[in-house]
């Protein structure tokens, strides 16, 4: 997994670089996720002498499995990647960019392998509990029907369509009423 940014060759001032990765190049693998789209990394670098500030965005589309209804849906991922590089004498010629905010590379031959950082940005940008929509109704706990698509007879029997409070909260509600009367 390697994609090289020739950091020492960046011109003074601001410059923009774009990198396009195939998912296989980044070795992207995650249960419940399909990586079929290319990953775009747009990087703006500002060089002032031997210091370079880099700010960029990783964007791609990922197919994820909803944790409520188990349907696959498309998720647009956009994750920020920022770091600084310092060109120094005696520093390594090639540095793998992982989670560091500041790296030192050789002033004359310094290059950065940005692939590890992009790999991590994509995987960390995926939500822990992906939902196809905020109001996803999930699956019926009895028959497993997708409640976003259909209704089933079990919902009324379980009281999930009923707007009355859960009976397990009745004693707490009575205590709250009693407290409110005494105040």
Give the tens place of pLDDT for each residue, 1-44: 668 888 888 899 999 999 999 999 999 999 889 999 999 999 99
Residue at 85 is within a domain: yes
Residue at 78 is within a domain: yes
* Res 164 pLDDT > 80: no
Cα–Cα distance, 175 to 157 (Å, whole number): 28
Task: Return the minimum-mean-pLDDT range out of 28-42, 93-107, 118-132, 151-165.
Answer: 151-165
**Does 78 or 109 have the greater pLDDT score?**
78
Residue at 87 is within a domain: yes
Residue at 44 is within a domain: yes
pLDDT value for 36: 94
- Report strand pairing: 13-21 vs 39-48: antiparallel
pLDDT value for 94: 81
What mean pLDDT is reported for the chain?
A: 88
Give one word for 26, left, alpha or beta, with left for phi > 0 and alpha for psi -120 to 50: alpha
Confidence of residue 159 (pLDDT cuts 50, 70, 90): low
Residue at 130 is within a domain: no
Residue at 99 is within a domain: yes
pLDDT value for 169: 85
> How many domains does the chain divide into?
1
Compute the average pLDDT of residues 117-130.
94
- Nearest-10 Cα torsion for 90, 95, 100, 101: 70
Task: Find, among 33, 36, 43, 6, the residue nearest to 22 by Cα.
Answer: 36
Its domain, for residue 87, covers 4-125
Task: Return the minimum-mean-pLDDT range out of 17-31, 60-74, 81-95.
Answer: 81-95
Task: Return the minimum-mean-pLDDT range out of 51-60, 100-109, 119-128.
Answer: 100-109
Residue at 16 is within a domain: yes
Residue at 56 is within a domain: yes
């Amino acid at each position: 997994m390697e994609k090289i940014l020739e950091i020492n060759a960046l011109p003074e001032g601001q410059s923009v670089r774009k990198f396009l990765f195939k998912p296989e190049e980044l070795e992207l693998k995650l249960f419940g996720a399909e990586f079929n789209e290319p990953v775009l990394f747009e990087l703006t670098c500002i060089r002032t002498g031997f210091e370079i500030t880099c700010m960029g965005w990783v964007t791609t589309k990922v197919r994820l499995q909803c944790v409520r209804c188990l349907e696959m849906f498309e998720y647009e991922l956009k994750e920020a990647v920022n770091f600084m590089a310092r060109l120094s004498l005696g520093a390594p010629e090639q540095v793998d960019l992982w989670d560091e905010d500041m790296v030192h590379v050789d002033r004359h031959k310094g290059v950065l392998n940005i692939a590890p950082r992009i790999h991590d940005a994509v995987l960390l940008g995926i939500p822990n509990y992906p939902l196809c929509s905020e109001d996803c109704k999930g699956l019926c706990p009895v028959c497993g029907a997708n409640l976003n698509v259909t209704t089933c007879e079990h919902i009324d029997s379980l009281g999930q369509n009923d707007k009355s409070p859960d009976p397990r909260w009745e004693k707490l509600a009575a205590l709250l009423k009693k407290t409110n009367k005494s105040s």
